[in-house]
Every structure is written in C-alpha cells, then in structure tokens.
Structure 1
Amino acid sequence: MTQNPIPTKEQILAWLSDHPEAGAKRDIAKAFGLKGTAKIELKRLLKEMATEGTVARRRRSYHDSGALPPVTVLEILAPDAQGDLWARPVEWEGEAPQIAVLTRREDPALGAGDRVLARLAQVTEGYEARIIRKIGVARHRIVGIFRKGAEGGRITPIDKGDMKEWIVPAGATAEAKDGELVEAEQSGPKGRMGLPRARIIERLGDPAAPRAVSLIAIHQHGIPDDFPDAVIAEADAERPAGLGDREDLTDLPFITIDPADARDRDDACFVQPDDDAANAGGHILWVAIADVAHYVRPGAALDREARNRGNSTYFPDRVVPMLPDRLSGDLCSLHEHVPRAVLAVRMKISEDGRKIAHRFTRGLIRSVASLEYAQVQAAHDGQPDAKTAPLVAEIIAPIYACYAALARARAMRQPLDLDLPERQIVINEAGKVASVKFKDRLDAHRLIEEFMVLANVAAAEELERLHRPLLYRVHEEPSADKIEALREVAQASGFTLAKGQVLKTAHLNRLLSQAEGSEFDELINISTLRSMTQAYYAPQNLGHFGLALRSYAHFTSPIRRYSDLIVHRALIAGHGWGKDGLSREDVETLEETAQHISETERRSMAAERDTTDRYLAAYLSDRVGAEFTGRISGVQKFGAFVKLDETGADGLIPIRAVGREFFHYDRDAQQLIGADTGLVIGIGQRVLVRLAEAIPVTGGLELELLELEGASLPGGGKGGRRPFKPARKFSALKAKQRATARKVKRTRK
C-alpha cells in the first residue's frame, strides 16, 4: 500500500484557508491521507512553518498566521470614546487584528477583561464578532513589589490579605527594576514551585514616592483615573447655561457651605421665614443643586464615562472625579457671584419641622457667598468675620432657625444616631502625612446634612407622584442574626436591647444612649454600625432603615454620584423641562445601572479605606516600639484587631504572639479564650499595646499586647501593675449568657 505524498507548505496553507474551522494536526493528516511515518513528517513540517511564522499554533491546532479561526476565544477591551466594544484574541502574538464586538439585547453584560467565545466574520478592516457565550471574567490582577531574579523575578502583593508571591518569567517583566511597584495580571497556572505565574503590564514607579499611596489604591482596585480624549473634548466644548426657559432665581441670596478644602460646590441653600399666616412660625427652605444633566446628556461620551466610573473617589492627597474638571470645578460648581444652572426645590417647613409642601424648578441662581463650615458656625456663635458679618441677620440666622425646627422633627423620627468621629489625614506639600486628627462636628455640618436629606426625600416623593422611574437609595433593616449578635455584646456590657418586637431605629438609639459616656460607648457604636446592612441603589423602593424614611433618593450630588444624575433626568422628563431627561435606554437599563453603581461605590470605599490604612502605617512607621492605648474592635481565629485611641488606626495582635498557650476561638461570642490561663480576649476590651511593626506599602500594623483591661498578662507584665484575673466581668457575663441559652433550648425541647 503506497503512502500519499507529503503536502507542500503552499498546499497546507491553501487547505487551512479553505477550512478555517479545522486546524488540528489530525484534520490535516486526514485531509491529505497521511498515516504512520508520514504523520511524523507532517508534524516536523508544521513545526517548521510555525517557526517561520507562516502558520500560528494555538494549543493543538494550526491556522494561517494572518487569519483568525471562525470561532475563537476573545478578551473584551474597554469601550472606546464612541462607546463601541472591541476585543482581542486571547492566543495571539504581536499586533492583534481589530475585532469589533456586535452585541445584541440578549447578550450578557460585558466588561473589560471578560472572556467570550465568539463567531468571527472577516470584514475590510478586521473582524466582526458575535457572542456565543461568556466563558470567563477579567483576569486576576495584582499590584505589588517586583523582586528581580536570575530568570525573571517575583511579585510580592501589597494587599494585606494576599500573602502568596507570583512568579514572573523572563520576558514578562516589562523591564521592571528591582523594588519597583508594578501592576501585573495572571498569565498561567501554578509553576514548579506552586506559585502562580504573572506578566507585568505596567510599571508604577517607586512605592515610597510621595503620593504613591493613592496611586496604589487606584490601580489595585481598578479605578479609572484618565479621561479619554473624546470625553475631555466634549467637556471643553461646553459653555455656561443661560437663562432660557429657566426660572430666574438670581435675586434669592443663596449661599454655599462646604469644607475648607472643598474641590467642588454642587449645593446651595437659602432660608426665609414663611409669611403665610396658615404656617405661622414656619420656614421656606430652598435647596439648589448644580444642573449636571444640562451638560452630561444621555448616550454622550461624558455620560458613558460618568456611568462607568459611577462616582468620584476621594483620597487625602487627590480626588478621582466622576466628571472632568471643566464641569466639576467650573460649569457645575456654584461659585459665588457667578450665574449657574440648577435644579432647585422650594420646601415649606412647619414650625415643628415637618415638610408640608414642596415645588421643583429648573432655574438659574447666583450665589452671594461661598462659605466654610467653621466660618458659618463662628458667625452664628457671635464671632463673624468680615465676609460673614453682613450675612448674619438676613441669611445665617434664618438657616439656623430652620435647622432648629428640623432637629425637632428629626428627634421625633428617630433616625439612627451613631457617634463615630471622622478621621482626617493632613498631607503636606512633600506628600507625607503631617498630622492625623479627628474632625469637629459642628451644627453647621448637621444643618447642611439635614437640608440635603429633606431635599432627597422631596425628590423621591415628587417622582413617585409623577409615576416616574427612579433610583432609590435603599437601606434594609439588619438581619435577625446580626441584631442577636449586637444584643449579646450589649448584655455583656451591662446594657439591654429590647427583644420580641419589630426593630426600629429608636430601639438602637436607646441602646446608644445607655452606653453614652461609659467605657463601652465606642464599643456599642462600632457594634451597632457593624450590625447594619450596606446601603445600595435599586429601582424598587425598600425604604431607608437608618434614616427611618419611607422613600429616599439621592438628588443632591450629581457632580460626584451617577445615581443623582439619573434622578435629575427623571425630574426633567417628568416635568417636561427639556430633551435631556431620562432616556428610554436609561429606563431599560435602570436595574443594571443600579447594580453597577452600587459596585463602584463599594470599590471606592475599599480604595479609600486601604489608602487611609497605608497613610497611617507610614505615619506610625517612625514610632515602632512606642506604646499606645486602644480598644479591641474585632476578633478572628488568628488574632485580635485593635483601634488605637490616638489615630483611630487599626492594628493586629497576632494570637501566636500572646503567651505560649493555645487559644480557642468562640465565633458566636467573638472571643479568644486561653486553654491554660482562661485569658479572655473579646470585643470592646481596653488594651495597652506596643507597635511591633508598621508596613506602609500594605497598610499593616502589628501590635504586641501588654495589658488587657488594665491588667498585666499571665506570666509577665510590668512591675507595679495589677496581675491578670481570668474571671473578668465581660467573660463571666458571656459564660452566664451561653449557659442560659442552653437551658432555654433544653426546656423548649
């Protein structure tokens, strides 16, 4: 039996071109009738062609190196300035061909880094792809420190929760230097040493450089920080809105009140006594919000980028804005003495602080003054400066009078009243932490918050009245398990939380009031906060538990939150104020938008928290060995977390470093219990610790436990201090509580 002749390279290329769906070696052998030793010769020939670059080998198949197979795996790229979706083949060396992704309504939502199986059709300038199915999500990315090796190197992640290293093969280092901060993505499974492989995709420079801390968080959490050229061009082309069909409100003396370091001013207020005899002692409260919808229109490049970002992200040294500075810092910022377009609400407030009517309008205002919180408070307290002195009687006094009425209504409504001081990190010109302090809470802060809450309520109620779709700000009540855990902490601290009734914020406020001024004040506040669910956005109204409100929507910050822009558009469409209202696509994708911006909000919160941790670790790195007081804020099997009094920083006491005994972890009681000494480490206990290690690049603080509740630890401690006694009040109450629970359980059986 004679063998068929080995095909030439030209014949193989011609066959591959005619049969792009087939490319396995066995397909080629079968097509040319090759068997036995001829298949070995074919394998050699294909390998030679792959080396020459005339065919491309992908896994176990061969294809014309200049063409893609009709069905292939693609990685989705970020949308371009026009919002079009593009992709690149996963297995491709060199410059990849252009692949436009044509999506249909039934296709899954796609994001940059997602992988899909797609059917390709060749067109003049590349390929068009139709999605068959989604087969994966974005590749795992890491930010870390690169350590150069003989063949490539390794990356040590900066994430405190990621302890494993990543191997970077030679040729995948992007010429990164030893000790440099890099961003990398997973490029393969575990290697010979059991570590995953990665390739460096961006070099971020010296991790110790000034202002590198927020840069780390931006890359680690994938926060977009560069605006596409089309977005910048669109913003730069905008011009200030004129009066047109707007209501002229420029005669009303609006003022803005913001922090001293405010980067934008998107809300203004004005109060005057109500001259309606039917509302004696009442107030007229105006809240005006920048008309962002006038500039950011549905479907435009600005809109797509704002939705993609979801919100602005704030760091101690910079802000990553949702909108370019031309809008956020200029056209949509309510600067004093400058006409600015707004959506405003006029609210009629009764003497006892109830909102009894409201009216929305699209108008034009001219702020008479841009003020700071402390400046306004000082003026109200009888210490005005040159700027506020002329405003005290006619503008500032009515604002505080209205707030006093709203405070009475708030006391009746009983929203959750947590008392958790806000930390402020001050960065100097060199990019280093100059100081860490806690912000003052003034009535000036509280009144603006109360005005904004009321405006948000009015927006939700107005859209409900108009039967218009909107995004609610939802905060569901806590789960029964979390409330039971809070009740245990309260009882162990000597307080009570009512049981057997529908939970209301008033019950939680009663608990907070019991703890106020006691040694457990901070513990109860932290524990109450941790029992809460996380707020989110949704097209369905599920109420706002924390604020004790039936309907609530975000309306007052469209410069920094996309949710507010959606609410503005809904109001514009509902009142017929223009063609820039809520579009059909906005309505159809409302559920998806709600989920997306809820996720971007959580992403920003995590990035801001990580940045704060790193700045605090850098600030404390010069004080390793110093002693600090604090309170245990969390307990895990591997150790206890402590919140330091001086800075509010969180550090870890590793349980391996506490004595030489084994510790049992009681998840329900949130305690670590020493097997030999009976030492109990639990949430809320006062501690004295020594700073053992501070790692700025990860934000990690490692602490050494010196004293617990004023007592030295068993087998040591400093002279003159009380020895530790196992039977402390906190642990005894816990033991009694668990015994009672077991007794009740047996009785019910």
Structure 2
Amino acid sequence: MGLMSFPDKQTVLDFIRDNPTATTKQEIARGLHVKGRERAVLREILKELEADGTLERTGKRAWAQADRPPPTGVVQFTHTDENGDLIGKAVGDNGPFGPDIIYTGLSGKPKGKATEPGEGDRALCKIKQEDGEWKARALTVLEKRLTNSLVGLYSQGPRGGKVTPANRKERREFLIQEADRNGAEDGDLVITTPKPQGRRQYGPNLGVIQEVIGHISDPRSASLLAIHAHGIPVDFPEAALEQARNPKPAPAEREDLTQIPLITIDPHDARDHDDAVYAEQLDDGWRVIVAIADVAAFVTPDSPLDREALKRGNSTYFPDRVVPMLPFELSADECSLREGELRRCMAVEMIFDKAGTKRSHRFIRGMMKSAAKLSYEEAQAAIDGKPGGKAEEMLEPVLKPLWGAYAALAEARDRRSPLDLDLPERRILFTEEGEIDGIITKERLEAHRLIEEFMIQANVAAAESLEKQNSPLIYRVHDTPTDAKIAAFAEFLQTIDMKWNIGQRPQTENFNRLLGEIDGSDYDQMVTQMVLRTQAQAIYSEENLGHFGLNLVRYAHFTSPIRRYADLIVHRALIASLGLGPDGLSKDMAARLEEMAQHISDTERRSMAAEREATDRYLAIFLADRVGSEFEGRITGVTGAGLFIALAGSGADGFVPISSISDDYWVLDEAAMQIYARGSGKTYGLGQIVRVRLKEVTPLQGGLLLEMLSDPMPAPKGRREARAKTDNGHHSRRRSGPGKPTGKRSGKPKFNKKTLPKHKRKRRN
C-alpha cells in the first residue's frame, strides 16, 4: 500500500480485515506506512472504532474486528453443542467476544486427556476460519475450572447425606441421595456437582459426589481442601514426568565457573537449591556472582514439561507440602545446585563500587560446582563468631567477602529507600505423623537480607540487559498507589493528628519516614497496616510500570526459574538476545507475552489464596481444643459487620461480630478505621490491642468466632465533631480506600461461620 497523508477509518478497517495477524498499533502503523504525527491520527481512529464497537480490544495496545478472533489468543470454553463439540469464544480485555469457536484438538501433538480443555476452561489457542466456521487448536490449557462444583465435607444422616462447603463464602449446601453417594462415607472430603433438576423448580439443592479426596481426620486435609477448591494441578502428565526423568539439556557453549567457590544459602530443610552466590573484594569495590539453575536448558519451549509449567504458573507452598511447578525428579536433581556436583547455570557477574553502586554486569551461561550447602542459621552463626562444620571452612574465603559486599549494597539500598515494612511471618511446625506440633515466628537474620538483596540486584540486571537488547520481556511491576488510596490514607492520618502531603507524588522514603516516626508508639501497628493497604498489588506485565515497593525503575524475575514461570521466560529472553544458545525465547512465545503475564499473575493470586486458606484451617485445627480460652490480640480489620483480630502467638485471624460486643449502636468511622458507640463515642480501632475469648472454631472453613472482653477506648477528641454530624444523619460521601469500607451503619448481623470474611495479605516482590 502506498504512502498516505493520513489514514481514515475505512482504510484502517480494510487493512485489519486483509491482515488479521497485524493486531497491534505498531503493526497497523507499519503496514499503512503511517509515521510521525499521522500516528496520533491512527490512535484516535482506533479509539473511535473501539468506542463504536467496530473493533474489540484484545490487549493493552492490540485490536481486532469485533467479529474476528485473533490468530493466536485465549479462548474461554463455555459449553458443548448438540454435536458434542466444545464451544468457546475469544477473550479480550473486556471479556469474551466474537463468534462461537469450535475446539478441534491440541496443536502439534496427538490428543491426550491430561491436557485437553473442557467446559469452563481457558486455553491459549491457534484460531482460524475454515468453511465459514471458526476453529481452535489448543497450545496449552491456562486455567482448569471445576464448573459449578463444590468442595466440602460429607456427613451421613438417618435420611441421607449432605455436603457442607469448605469455603466460607460458599452459601450452597447439597443434599446427597443414596444413588449419588458414590461410596462416600461420613467425614469424607468430596467434590460435588449439582444434580440436574429437570422440571423440579423448588426444594433443596441435590448434588452428586464426583470424587472423594480425603477424610476430615487426615492431618493433611487442610491443604487437600485448598488444592482442590482452587483447581491447583497436582499430578503431572506422564509425558512431562518422562521428560523430567530423562533430562536432555539443550546444547550450548558454557563458561567454566567450577573454580569459583559459589555456595548455596537456603532454609535448613530446602529440597532444591536454585541460587548460589560468591563475592570478592576488588581494589575499588566488589565483584559479585549470582548463579541460578539453568532450568531453560531442560524445559524447552512447547515441550510437555513446558506446557505443564505454564499451566501451573508457579509452585504453591502450603504449611505441610509444596505443589511444585516442575517435578521433583528435575527440580531436586539436575536443576538443584547440589554441593560438589557439576551443574549447568545461568549466572550474572556484577561489579559494584565501594558505595554499593553497580558499575557493570554481564550474563554467563556456565558450568559450576557448589562449594558448600549452608543454611541461613549456619552462615549467620559463622559471621557472628560461632563457626562450625562447612561454614567454618567457608568463613574466610567466601562468607566474609559476601558480608563485605552486602555492607556496600545495603548502603546503596538505604539510599534508594525501598518500602520498609516489618511484617513478621509465622511457621507451622508438624510432627512426622503430620500433626501440628507448634507455631513459631520466623527469625529474620542478616543472612536472609543478604541473599534477598543479591537476588534483587540480579533481577534488576536481567531487566536492564533485556531492555538494552530491545528484547521482549515480562516485568515484575508494583504500581504507585492510586490517588484515591493516598487520599484515604491522608484522611486516616488526620484522625490521629498526623499529616500527609497529598499534593506530592507518593515516594517510599515518605512512607519510611512516617513509619520511623511512629515506631514503638501506640499507632505503630495501626499505621503499618494502613500503609500496607494503601499499596497496589505486584503483578507481571509486559509493560514496565516500575516497582514502587522496591523503588526501582525496572525489575524482572530471574532468580527462581524452578518455582516461577516468569523467571523461565526471562532466562529464555536472555539466551535469545545475548546469543547464549538455541533454546531461547521463540517468536511465537514473544507474541504471547501479554496473555502469559496475565495468566501467571492469575496463578500467583490463586496460589496465595489457597495458601492462606490452608494456613487458616491449620490454625483453626491447632486452636480447636482451646475453645473458652482467653487470648491477647490486635485489631487488624474494621468493618460494619465486626472486628478482625489477629491472636498473639499463633497469628490466627478471628472475628468479633458487632452484634456481640454490647447493646450499643455501633457506627463505622471509615476514615479512622474505627467503630464507635453512638452517644458515648467509645471506640475500637485498627491496631488496638484487646483481650478476647475463643467462642467457636470451624476447622472446615478455618473460622474462629471470638468474644470481646476489653472495654472500648475513650472517644478521640479529634473525631467528635465529625461523628456528631454522622450521628445527626449528615452522612459523608462513601468512597473506596485502603480500608475497604462497607458502609456507614453497622447493624447486628448473625455470625455465619460459612461466610466469615478475611483481612490478611502477604506481600511478594
């Protein structure tokens, strides 16, 4: 097509129709030879065509005709037609769109039940039009869904059985007729689906038990319920296991790193070791090497292992087990940097000056041999003057230089001022029989911070190198807090006579300064919780939004390819862009990065939700025989329905229904994150330490019902006037904010152990 002064709507539409593979603005502009200012005209035309429904947005900067699916894209399969064919629609930014698409099988390999999509599933597909029909061949199933299924506890009664849901938010309960029990016994954990009702319109919900997954008495039941409720894949397809048992690494030239005493520092019970570190002092600074297991050499693109790893997205870590992204046959063997064994690695060598500022870096595909396997505690003890075993041997040649380099990097980190939130982590201990043995708070050692900072620097180097090579990549992004959340945070601070300048752009150092000022005060935990709630969620994205929490301009995940698919993508991108082997990022995979970033962000959220649920259940089991006991706790959530309390020691979350506190009429002050009694103004608020009694435990849902024993605090002087207006009916405007207000008035709802809400978040870089 010849050069145009500027495009018009029809020209753009004709081009998109004739070139269905050109979906992005850049591709359309290139095809129409649009340059300079004409690109702004093209952008406006695309927006207009999207607004009037002619085009459908299929990505952040990608469009397709509203009735035309992209050649490669995500398909949501919704139902089976009268011919038995699986039918779906293409998925864009605004959900499913376009014509029905018929599923015709897997792309590039024979059909196999283990990887076939079904109703309710999403799959990345090759899509094309044949004989007037749209057809799809699946590249990989992204999301398996148990359509309308319910995971719960089967109980047998004199007139039949019923299934009680394991999810607090699930309101359905199924009655099970004898013919639909399928061998389930009293106390079994089961997956149930609704029974077709036919013409029957009224009466109880009937269900059919599809599978027995365990028994409520099994100590492992808490994790089993979470795994099945969230559809986390557990069993690997045989083809993936065969590939893991017989690894065939891709050929590549490798640098010999075997003479460098790289060491692994991990938790004492780690089964796999995917990172090793080394440092040496230079005349004017430090040389640091971070070596990572070369997973990409064994998990080649579009292989059975690769498809399964993408489907899982990441490993999921429960208190009692791990559901891995890769089979242990690979992750704990050829991809584990074992002491004294020759291993393939991807490494980055970084040079820092004495102040910890990086001067240069280079990536290496190498062979290494770990000089020692140390735990965090062993390494820290050696540095603290109590060396023993292998740590004593490594103290002078390796550990002291590592700590010297870390001192420089810590200096640079302090100048950078990443968000500094002290969030203690608890660990549930188990006996060999799987029973809960106790709960401890994880000790935060300097050795942990050292490894964390070295990994962050390696991740930054990966993002920098890929940007320099103009390579596609997936960033780890953590967006700046929104204006609405900052406004809500500033309003909250006013309620405790503190100020926040909402006119300036949020900066981590301002949050850190504030946290430093209130450290050790009555408001310490309250403000820490509110700072955490103000933050955005970290996600994966092909678009670089920076990492606010770490205060970094660019950041990617490179250091854990055994447990995160994002890191595997970054490894492949480095291999391709730096010419380090034939097994790099393919053009096909590069074109799918946006969909893959969304998918692995979703699988991460899925894992976090499952991990929280399992932990809640284990804590409920641990406290089941303590009903009637009193505990000290801290208010961690305030809603119109009641108060959320984190119990001291265990960290378990319980709920105090507002109706159970007293006969007062309690009102939610959303700005201050407090409830107060109308009239007296006495208050319960976020961060307040209280005494509670454990009234009821529901281990199946992980719920704790608490009774408030502590008296409320006196009415705060600064809020009396605002509350008087509310009490007189002058309600302020409702708005969203970090506290997630649920409304002004708090009634007296009954406690529902199935639907207890939850306030608990875990930050991940």
| TM-score category (smaller protein) | 0.7 to 0.9
Q: Which AA in structure 1 matches 2:227? A: I
Q: Which amino acid aligns with 2:105?
A: V
Q: Rate the CA distance shift 1:430–1:489 in 2: closer, same or farther, 3 A.
A: farther
2:215 is matched with which residue?
A: 206
2:245 to 229, 233, 236: 236
Aligned position for 1:114 = 120
Structure 1 position 245 matched with structure 2 position 248: no
Tell me: CA distance 1:730–1:141, structure 2 relative to 1, closer, same or farther (3 Å): farther
Q: Distance in 1 between matches of 2:460 and 2:106?
A: 41
**Residue 357 (structure 2) pairs with residue 348 (structure 1):** no
Residue type of the alignment partner of 1:315: F
Instruction: Give 1 or 2 for the bigger CA radius of gyration.
Output: 1
Is it true that 1:156 corresponds to 2:164 in the alignment? yes
The letter of the residue matching 1:610 is E
- Matched with 2:412 is 409
Higher RCO, Cα 8 Å, sep 6+ = 2
- Match for residue 498 of structure 1? 501
Aligned residue type for 1:101: G
Q: CA deviation at 1:631?
A: 1.3
**Counterpart amino acid of residue 225 in structure 1:** V
* Worse-matched range after superposition: 594-603 or 385-394: 385-394
The yes-or-no answer on 1:172 pairing with 2:180 is yes
TM-aligned CA distance change 1:669 to 1:335, over 3 Å? same
1:659 CA displacement = 1.3
Deviates further, 481-490 or 526-535: 481-490
Q: Are residue 438 (structure 1) and residue 441 (structure 2) matched? A: yes
Query: 1:238, CA displacement in angstroms?
Result: 1.1
Q: For the residues of structure 1 that align with 2:343 and 2:482, how far apart are their CA atoms?
A: 45
Deviations 1:547-574 (A, max 9, x none): 1111100000000000000000001111
Shift of 1:288: 0.3
Q: How does the TM-score come out when normalised to structure 2?
A: 0.76
Q: Out of 299, 305, 310, which is 1:307 matched to?
A: 310
Count of residues in correspondence between the two structures: 616
- Following superposition, the deviation at residue 138 of structure 1 comes to 5.5
Which one of 81, 101, 105 corresponds to residue 105 of structure 2? Answer: 101
SS at match of 1:388: helix
CA distance in 2, matches of 1:356, 1:653: 55
Tell me what 2:192 maps to: 184
The one-letter code sitting in structure 2 at the alignment partner of 1:236 is R
1:145 counterpart residue number: 153
Aligned partners of 2:382 and 2:391 also within 8 Å? yes
User: Following the alignment from structure 1 to structure 2, what is the Cα–Cα distance between the partners of residues 636 and 294?
Assistant: 51
1:593 is the counterpart of 2:596: yes
- Partner residue, 2:277: 269
* Aligned-residue offset at 1:455: 0.2
Over 3 Å counting, the alpha-carbon distance change for 1:103 and 1:342 in structure 2 is: closer
Return the match for 1:685 from 679, 688, 691. Answer: 688
The answer (yes or no) to whether the contact 2:345–2:365 under 8 Å persists in 1 is yes
Among residues 470, 473, 480, which one is paired with 1:470 in the alignment? 473
Instruction: Using the TM superposition, give the Cα deviation of residue 730 of structure 1 relative to its aligned residue in structure 2, in angstroms.
Output: 7.7
**Do the aligned partners of residues 69 and 517 (structure 1) sit closer, same or farther apart at CA in structure 2, a change above 3 Å counting?**
closer
Partner of 2:715: 727
Q: Does 1:659 align with 2:665?
A: no
State whether structure 2 residue 74 is matched by structure 1 residue 74. no
1:546-695 maps to which residues of 2 (within 5 A)? 546-675=549-678, 677-695=680-698
State the alpha-carbon separation in 2 of the partners of residues 602 and 197 from structure 1.
31
Rounded to whole Å, the distance in 1 between the matches of 2:433 and 2:121 is: 42
Q: CA deviation at 1:70?
A: 6.6
Name the structure 2 match of 1:457: 460
CA contact (8 A) 1:486 1:531 kept: yes
3-state SS of 1:546 partner: coil
Unmatched tracts of structure 2, length 5 or more: 1-79, 89-101, 109-114, 123-132, 138-143, 734-765
Q: Secondary structure at the match of 1:215?
A: helix
2:297 corresponds, among 285, 289, 294, to: 294
Query: 2:39: which partner in 1?
Result: none
Judging changes above 3 Å, is the alpha-carbon distance between structure 1 residues 411 and 732 closer, same or farther for their aligned structure 2 residues?
farther
> Structure 2 CA distance, aligned partners of 1:491 and 1:189?
56
What CA distance in whole angstroms lies between the structure 1 residues aligned with 2:182 and 2:491? Answer: 54
For the pair 1:220 / 2:229, whether they are aligned, the reply is yes
Structure 1 position 393, deviation (Å): 1.4
Q: Deviations over 1:103-151 (max 9, x none)?
A: 89xxxx99543289xxxxxxxxxxx99469xxx9851222111133567
TM-score by length of 1: 0.77
Show the counterpart of 1:372.
375
Secondary structure of 1:595 counterpart? helix
Query: How many Å apart are 1:71 and its aligned residue?
Result: 4.6
User: Cα offset for 1:674?
Assistant: 2.6
The answer to whether the 8 A contact 1:690-1:703 is kept is yes
| 1:703 maps to 2:706 | yes
Q: How has the CA–CA distance of structure 1 residues 671 and 198 changed in structure 2, closer, same or farther, with 3 Å as cutoff?
A: farther
1:730-749 paired onto structure 2 within 5 Å: 732=720, 735=723
Structure 1 residues 99 and 395: alpha-carbon distance in aligned structure 2, compared to 1, 3 A threshold = closer
Could you tell me which residue of structure 1 aligns to residue 392 of structure 2? 389
Structure 1 pair 736–388 and aligned structure 2 pair: CA distance change class (3 A): farther
Amino acid at match of 1:521: D
1:645 positional shift: 1.8
CA contact (8 A) 1:495 1:514 kept: no
Distance 1:69 1:595, change over 3 A: closer
SS state at 1:507 partner: helix
Distance 1:131 1:383 in 2: 63
Instruction: Read off the aligned partner of 1:570 and give its amino acid letter.
Output: A
Whole-Å separation in 1 of the counterparts to 2:721 and 2:244: 62
The match for 1:532 is: 535
Confirm or deny: 8 A CA contact 2:635 2:644 kept in the other structure.
Answer: yes
User: Conserved in 1, the CA contact under 8 Å of 2:86 and 2:103?
Assistant: no
Instruction: Quickly say closer, same or farther: Cα 1:558–1:179, change in 2 above 3 A.
Output: same
**Is the CA contact 1:380–1:392 (under 8 Å) kept in the aligned structure 2?**
yes
Contact 1:663 1:673 in 2 (8 A): yes
Deviation at 1:154, TM superposition (A): 2.1
Q: Which runs of 5+ in 1 are unaligned?
A: 1-67, 77-97, 117-127, 713-723
CA contact (8 A) 1:633 1:684 kept: yes
Task: Report the Cα offset of residue 673 of structure 1.
Answer: 2.8
